[in-house]
């Protein structure tokens, strides 16, 4: 197997950064997330490839929180689009865990399939290569196995890294993977390696039948109880590797401006507010329910897989300790009175 | 703390039995670990057994009152010093009536941050120290300022040294250095609005940041829009922040939000004097910057 020796890691990242933006998991000051290798400051920042994961998912690399769509120039009553902003520059996500790779796979389904293509997303994603980092030691909050993720061989990765102690086994999975491998031809070594054994999951989550059961639970009283502590901030949706909702808005200064899109959250009242002032999800509980139904039922119905990836981020950061695993359990246990 | 839990449960049970309340707001442990402790609404005498006061009961439950401001329930509520200041703020802002509340005060020994514990347990990043939450180390008011019944013994404030030391440090910087400091910290904001949602002083029914016609503050995740958000939010907190520190505690990207609040607390103190936000409840009283008079001696209006 090809191996990337750990002492050649920064050489490899430098090499890859010559032709692409390379997003790596990093502790950057007080921030924990994926940042570009070019922004890495020796002595201050810390590469987090060995850690279980980082708090901000890599979705920013293919679906930035804010991105411009087109520029506007108006003259009198005439309005012209003077610029479009599709970004086709090469980018590499280096070291994503299986859960986060699934997040991008889910966004691919939403943005690229069923007869609809999001051109901004498509442009970025076409130029994007995913180098995943196989996970042999699931953490206490991990449940990706229940969310159809193979954490050692994540589907959708172009290359998979396998931590073998002093190096990373380098498993090529696609043509894009071949292309980045070629860039590192004189850095990768051919070696005999023994892949580690995967440790058991600490948490047991049973998702089977949940999507089907939820069909009959839209008006179930359990939502009142589950939603009670929720304060409707958008933290869970913004740290989530698969939440992809956005809003489109415009900024104008006199006759110049641009249209942009920016992440939005179903947790916000204004997200579902209609132009006439009505709001089908005006109540906190309704927004809370929407998030979990979308994760566990609607997406599964439309695309055949849940929108949750089992990364466990939302349950770590939630200010009021809302926990999707406890919600899955509660749905499993709930009685439905016909 | 087990003693205090027991006493709160007894009081809540008594209030339900005497039909003096419809709900009781406190904390409960929701998951298998103690750090899974968060806000809780007991709706009947049977629910009372779930109430706990443990070292993670840090959530400011006065914020939960906002969910009930438009309904009629008679509410029992357990509060620490900081939470009780939140109640005073809501009373001053006429968000809830005093006679709807039965307040059980708990002199607070200082608590731990369940989010720090959850992060440590989750194992994503380096372990953090799990001593008293920093907001508790800065506490100037561990004892409830308003209550009907007190549980436990009075505590002494834990805050040591110059309360505004960090503010003064920033004030010493040049304008450019200070701008750089805030640019660096605020550019990492992800605009999740958790700081607003957990803030008891943020009791506006329609928040300026949710207004669409006109849209006062841009939604781009850019340094300038982020700064606008934080400057407007915090300026709005001048004379209103009760220093519970929840905004900074819950921030997922570690923005030092209390620095902004402390600066405003310091300046409002210097400009107007008087008791700080939520420190005492006098019926009809208003915090600074919330009274409009046509004969205001200043001519800027």
pLDDT at residue A178 in the model? 97
Average the pLDDT over B20-30 and give the result: 96
Express each pLDDT in B77-128 by its tens digit: 999 999 999 999 999 999 999 999 999 999 999 999 999 999 999 988 778 8
Tell me if B40 and A229 make a contact (CB, 8 A cut-off): yes
Residue B143 and residue B14 in one domain: yes
Handedness of CA A168, A170, A176, A180 (dihedral sign): positive
Is B301 domain-assigned? Answer: no
Express each pLDDT in B205-249 by its tens digit: 999 999 888 889 999 999 999 999 999 999 999 999 999 999 999
Express each pLDDT in A125-139 by its tens digit: 999 999 999 999 999
Where does the pLDDT of residue A88 fall: very low under 50, low under 70, confident under 90, or very high at 90 and above?
Answer: very high
Express each pLDDT in A250-303 by its tens digit: 999 989 999 999 999 999 999 999 988 899 999 999 999 999 999 999 999 999
Using a CB–CB cutoff of 8 Å, tell me whether B118 touches chain A. Answer: yes
pLDDT at residue A214 in the model? 97
pLDDT at residue B106 in the model? 98
Residue B94 and residue B16 in one domain: yes
Using a CB–CB cutoff of 8 Å, tell me whether B254 touches chain A. Answer: yes
Is B230 domain-assigned? Answer: yes
Q: Does position A219 have pLDDT exceeding 90, yes or no?
A: yes
Q: What percent of chain A has pLDDT over 90?
A: 95
pLDDT at residue A90 in the model? 97
Contact residues, chain B, for A269 at CB < 8 Å: 210
Contact residues, chain A, for B182 at CB < 8 Å: none
How many domains does chain B fold into?
Answer: 2
B271/chain A closest Cα distance in angstroms? 33
Contact B53, B106 (CB under 8 A): yes
Average pLDDT, chain A: 96
Using a CB–CB cutoff of 8 Å, tell me whether B44 touches chain A. Answer: no
A277 CB neighbour count, 10 Å cutoff: 7
Is B300 domain-assigned? Answer: no
Express each pLDDT in A32-46 by its tens digit: 999 999 999 999 999
Contact B255, B233 (CB under 8 A): no
d(CA B124, CA B163): 33
Tell me if A315 and B126 make a contact (CB, 8 A cut-off): no
Structure tokens at B229: 């958000």
| Cα-based angle A59, A61, A67 (whole degrees, multiple of 5) | 95
Residue B143 and residue B171 in one domain: no
Is B280 domain-assigned? Answer: yes
Residue B149 and residue B126 in one domain: yes
Residue B59 and residue B181 in one domain: no
Residue B203 and residue B155 in one domain: no
Using a CB–CB cutoff of 8 Å, tell me whether B21 touches chain A. Answer: no
What is the rounded (10 degree) CA torsion for B281, B283, B286, B292?
180
Contact residues, chain A, for B203 at CB < 8 Å: none
What 3-state DSSP class applies to B73? coil
Domain holding B118, by residue range, is 1-160
Nearest CA in chain A to B31: A326
B151 CB neighbour count, 10 Å cutoff: 20
Q: Does position B301 have pLDDT exceeding 50, yes or no?
A: no
Is B298 domain-assigned? Answer: no
Contact residues, chain B, for A320 at CB < 8 Å: 38-39, 59
Express each pLDDT in B45-89 by its tens digit: 999 999 999 999 999 999 999 999 999 999 999 999 999 999 999
Is B103 domain-assigned? Answer: yes
3-state helix, strand, coil in chain B (%, to 5): 40, 10, 50
Is B241 domain-assigned? Answer: yes
Interface test with A, best of B128, B199, B214, B220 (most A CBs within 10 A): B220
In the stretch 140-199 of chain A, residues with CB closer than 8 A to chain B read: 140-141
B260/chain A closest Cα distance in angstroms? 18
Interface test with B, best of A39, A204, A318, A319 (most B CBs within 10 A): A319
In this predicted complex, what is the ipTM?
0.92
Q: Minimal CA–CA distance to A110: which of A239, A265, A300?
A: A300
Residue B155 and residue B214 in one domain: no
A195/chain B closest Cα distance in angstroms? 23
Q: Does position B299 have pLDDT exceeding 80, yes or no?
A: no
d(CA A143, CA A306): 13
Q: Minimal CA–CA distance to B123: which of A132, A131, A202?
A: A202
Tell me if B198 and A269 make a contact (CB, 8 A cut-off): no
Is B216 domain-assigned? Answer: yes
Interface test with B, best of A261, A284, A320, A326 (most B CBs within 10 A): A320
Residue B255 and residue B125 in one domain: no
Express each pLDDT in B141-161 by its tens digit: 999 999 999 999 999 999 999
Tell me if A234 and B215 make a contact (CB, 8 A cut-off): no
User: Least CB-CB distance to A262: which of B221, B252, B254?
Assistant: B221
d(CA B109, CA A194): 53
CA distances, B153 to each of B4, B68, B105 (Å): 10, 30, 10
Tell how strand A78-84 and strand A91-96 pair up: unpaired
Where does the pLDDT of residue B300 fall: very low under 50, low under 70, confident under 90, or very high at 90 and above?
Answer: low
Tell me if A321 and B67 make a contact (CB, 8 A cut-off): no
Average the pLDDT over B10-27 and give the result: 98
A175/chain B closest Cα distance in angstroms? 31
Using a CB–CB cutoff of 8 Å, tell me whether A279 touches chain B. Answer: no
Q: What percent of chain A has pLDDT over 70?
A: 100
User: How many A×B Cβ pairs under 8 Å?
Assistant: 129
Express each pLDDT in B242-297 by its tens digit: 999 999 999 999 999 999 999 999 999 999 888 899 999 999 888 888 887 888 77
Using a CB–CB cutoff of 8 Å, tell me whether B196 touches chain A. Answer: yes
pLDDT at residue B285 in the model? 87
Tell me if B250 and A319 make a contact (CB, 8 A cut-off): yes
Q: Minimal CA–CA distance to B8: which of B141, B21, B243, B281?
A: B21
| Domain end point (choices B133, B160, B187) | B160
Tell me if A270 and B210 make a contact (CB, 8 A cut-off): yes
């Amino acid at each position: 197997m090809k191996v990337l020796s750990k002492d050649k890691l920064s050489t490899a990242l430098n090499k890859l950064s010559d032709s692409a933006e390379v997003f790596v998991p990093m502790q950057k000051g007080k921030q924990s997330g994926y940042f570009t290798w070019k922004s890495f400051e020796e002595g201050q920042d810390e590469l987090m490839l060995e850690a279980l994961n980082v708090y901000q998912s890599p979705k920013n690399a293919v679906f930035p929180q804010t991105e411009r769509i087109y520029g506007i120039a108006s003259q009198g009553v005439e309005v012209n689009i003077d610029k479009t902003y599709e970004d086709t520059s090469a980018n590499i996500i280096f070291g994503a865990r299986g859960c986060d790779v699934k997040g991008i796979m889910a966004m691919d389904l939403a943005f690229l399939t069923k007869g609809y293509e999001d051109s901004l997303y498509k442009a970025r994603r076409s130029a994007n290569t995913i180098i995943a980092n196989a996970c042999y030691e699931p953490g206490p909050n991990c449940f990706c196995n229940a969310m159809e993720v193979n954490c050692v061989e994540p589907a959708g990765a172009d290359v998979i890294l396998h931590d073998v102690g002093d190096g990373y086994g380098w498993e090529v999975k696609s043509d894009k993977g071949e292309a980045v491998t070629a860039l590192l031809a004189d850095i990768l070594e051919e070696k005999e390696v023994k892949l580690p054994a995967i440790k058991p999951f600490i948490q047991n989550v049973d998702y089977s039948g949940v999507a089907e059961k939820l069909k009959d639970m839209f008006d179930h009283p359990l939502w009142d109880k589950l939603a009670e502590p929720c304060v409707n901030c958008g933290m869970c949706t913004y740290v989530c590797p698969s939440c992809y909702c956005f809003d489109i808005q415009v900024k104008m200064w006199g006759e110049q401006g641009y249209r942009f899109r920016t992440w939005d959250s179903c947790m916000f009242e204004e997200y579902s507010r209609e132009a006439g002032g009505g709001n089908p999800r005006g109540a906190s509980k309704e927004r809370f329910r929407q998030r979990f139904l979308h994760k566990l039922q609607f997406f599964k119905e439309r695309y055949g897989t849940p929108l949750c990836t089992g990364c466990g981020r939302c349950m770590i950061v939630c200010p009021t300790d809302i926990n999707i695993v406890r919600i899955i359990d509660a749905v499993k246990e709930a009685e439905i009175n016909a | 703390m087990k003693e205090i839990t027991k006493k709160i449960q007894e009081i809540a049970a008594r209030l339900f039995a005497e039909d003096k309340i419809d709900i009781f707001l406190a904390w409960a442990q929701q998951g298998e670990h103690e750090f899974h402790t968060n806000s809780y609404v007991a709706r009947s005498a049977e629910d009372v057994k779930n109430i706990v006061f443990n070292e993670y009961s840090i959530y400011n439950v006065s914020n939960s009152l906002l969910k009930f401001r438009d309904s009629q329930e008679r509410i029992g509520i357990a509060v620490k010093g900081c939470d009780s200041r939140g109640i005073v703020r809501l009373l001053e802002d006429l968000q809830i009536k005093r006679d709807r509340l039965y307040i059980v005060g708990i002199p607070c020994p200082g608590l731990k941050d369940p989010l720090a514990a959850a992060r440590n347990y989750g194992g994503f990043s380096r372990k953090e120290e799990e001593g008293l939450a920093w907001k508790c180390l800065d506490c100037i008011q561990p004892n409830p300022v308003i209550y009907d019944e007190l549980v436990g013994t009075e505590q002494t404030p834990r805050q040591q040294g110059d309360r505004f030391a960090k503010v003064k440090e920033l004030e010493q910087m040049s304008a450019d250095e200070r701008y750089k400091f805030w640019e660096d910290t605020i550019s990492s904001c992800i605009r999740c609005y958790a700081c607003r949602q957990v803030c008891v002083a943020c009791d506006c029914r329609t928040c300026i940041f949710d207004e669409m016609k006109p849209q006062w503050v841009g939604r781009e995740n850019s340094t300038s829009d982020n700064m606008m958000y934080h400057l407007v939010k915090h300026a709005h907190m001048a004379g209103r922040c009760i220093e519970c520190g929840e905004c900074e505690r819950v921030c997922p990207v570690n923005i030092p939000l209390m620095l902004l609040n402390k600066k405003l607390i310091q300046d409002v103190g210097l400009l107007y004097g008087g008791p700080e936000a939520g420190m005492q409840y006098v019926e009809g009283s208003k915090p600074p910057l919330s009274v409009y008079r046509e004969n205001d001696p200043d001519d800027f209006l």
